[in-house]
Amino acid sequence: MTVAVDELEHLDDAEVYRQLEAARRAMSADLLADPVTLARGLDRRFRMRPHFAVIGEALAEVGRGEVDRLLVLTPPQVGKSTTVAEWFPFWWLCTFPMDKVAVTSYGDDLALRRGKRIRGYVEEYGDEWDLRMKPGSGAMQDWEVTAGGGVRSVSVGKGLTGFDVNLLIVDDPHKDRADAESEAARNALHDWYSSAALTRLQPDRSAVVAIQTRWHPDDFAGRRLEEEGRIEDGGRWKVVHLPAVADPKFGPDPLGRERGEPLPHPKIPTRDVARLRGWWAQKKATSIVRDWHALYQGDPQPAEGALVSEDLLRLLRDTTTPVEPQKIAVAIDPSGGGRDVAGVIGGFLGDDDRVWITDDVSAPMSSAEWSTAACRLAHRTNASVIYVEWNFGRDMCVLAIQTSWEALQRDGEIPKGTLMPAIAPVRAKQGKLLRAEPIAQQMVQDKVRFRGVFTDMEREWSTWQSTDPDSPGRIDASCILVYGLIPDANQGAIAHSPLPKAPNGGGARAASPYTRRVG
């Protein structure tokens, strides 16, 4: 409601006061549209970002009773706890002043900080919505407002006995990786939630909102989704999953981001996309593989039963040992067979009889894109051979490589007259697990090393399970590379296929050393 100054000049004092009060009440009501709108209206330090709007709307759905279980999954330090565990409880009390709110976290200190912040909001802003502290309610851990509602702040695992709960906030229930990976600690958390927390929820109005970064497949979020499921799958939980870098494997992105687009950050302007990309790229580069995918992408994977351990993969990284390449190659596992990620891996056989992996340019690519990426890599590394798995595509895979090489020469990226590497098509004769296990053994025997840190490839090796429905392009391409450079490792896993005759007599060099069947 807007009141013009010139209109007020013709009104008596009582009417002016009435209209101003009506405008104030309307503005106050507007601020309660959702918790983020409230925070923006009251705190000039609150920096609005697109992901806050998504979280705020989801929280408003909880307040309207449309959702009674909400799970918010984001990387660390992007403002989720301030929004969900501080402004949201205050908003809830402004809306439902008779309700009891429980704010829980992995430790009493953190939970208490949340409770103090909510109390500060009540004391500073609460009068506008007739929300006032109850006289004598001095305990920081457990306090009430005059209407009967209040907040209790405790660590998960204790402190809710005898306390009715209308809104339960679970804020980062796991202290760290060690806590999340402890089966005893996880079971204690799950038991507390089931036997203590849920039993305190009230029948008239109740909801559970959990916010966390992911740590383990069976962490708090993982168990809730396993037991009760997502709303879109007929389950109970609404999930707002905001990975650091958008990936279609998680379904439609809540922010409408395309693959690879970065998540906004409270301390980086949203329009500064280059800086955002750099921030998350730095986090990826400085995190171990498991932490990047769990904490930042919200996609934890089991370590048990993996082909290679993360500890071993770290030991394989070697950027200092002098070694002379004897044969340089590029290996391709084209996208196909229900997978859109093409594996393109480069490396060489060293004079130490090890295979050194030097490059991973794998990505979701069409045939024109992966063949061009492989040709660029082969030219840059001076590769003598390109191995390509042709179970899907067969002769078209070879033709794609030949065509891309010729196109790069026409465009001047590759000098005319530069001899094209031999193309060695290979055909997988065994399943992925049987193909990968011998290469994993080569890693154990220190026959394979990495000339750098290859986060995505290492993640596949350290998390892929034989029962997984996805097809690991980077694993497949690195297997093809090692099999090509160390034929004795093959054991019949792949066969080198005859090279199809190039059209018009052009194309690749003869691939005689690599067209024979190996194993």
pLDDT of residue 468: 62
For residue 83, the 8-state DSSP code is I
- Per the CATH hierarchy, to which homologous superfamily does domain 310-505 belong? MutS, connector domain (3.30.420.110)
The percent helix, strand, coil of the chain (3-state, each to 5) is: 45, 20, 40
Domain boundaries, the chain: 1-31, 45-285, 310-505
Instruction: Say which residues have a Cβ less than 8 Å from residue 244's Cβ, sequence separation at least 6.
Output: 75, 262, 263, 280, 283, 284, 296, 297
DSSP string covering 157-187, please? Answer: TSS-TT--BSEEEEE----SHHHHH-HHHHH
Instruction: Say which residues have a Cβ less than 8 Å from residue 237's Cβ, sequence separation at least 6.
Output: 69, 70, 71, 224, 225, 228, 229, 230, 231
Residue 165: how many CB atoms within 10 A of its CB?
A: 22
pLDDT tens figures, 468-506: 656 688 999 999 999 999 876 555 555 555 544 444 334
CA atoms within 13 A on the CB side of 44: 0
Instruction: Say which residues have a Cβ less than 8 Å from residue 40's Cβ, sequence separation at least 6.
Output: 46, 48
pLDDT tens figures, 340-353: 689 999 999 999 99
* Separation of alpha carbons 345 and 131, rounded Å: 62
* Separation of alpha carbons 372 and 432, rounded Å: 25
For residue 87, the 8-state DSSP code is I
pLDDT of residue 340: 66
pLDDT of residue 467: 60
For 30, phi then psi, to 5°, come to: -65, -35
Same topology between domain 45-285 and domain 310-505: no
- Dihedral sign for Cα 316, 320, 323, 328, please: positive
- Per the CATH hierarchy, to which homologous superfamily does domain 45-285 belong? P-loop containing nucleotide triphosphate hydrolases (3.40.50.300)
DSSP string covering 280-324, please? Answer: HHHHHHHS-HHHIIIIITS-----TT-SS-HHHHHHHB-SSS---
User: Radius of gyration (Cα) for the chain, nearest Å?
Assistant: 29
pLDDT of residue 293: 85
> Tokens standing for 348?
């060489």
Residues of the chain with pLDDT under 50: 1, 337-338, 499-519
CA atoms within 13 A on the CB side of 300: 22
Q: Where is 355: in which H helix or E strand?
A: strand 355-360
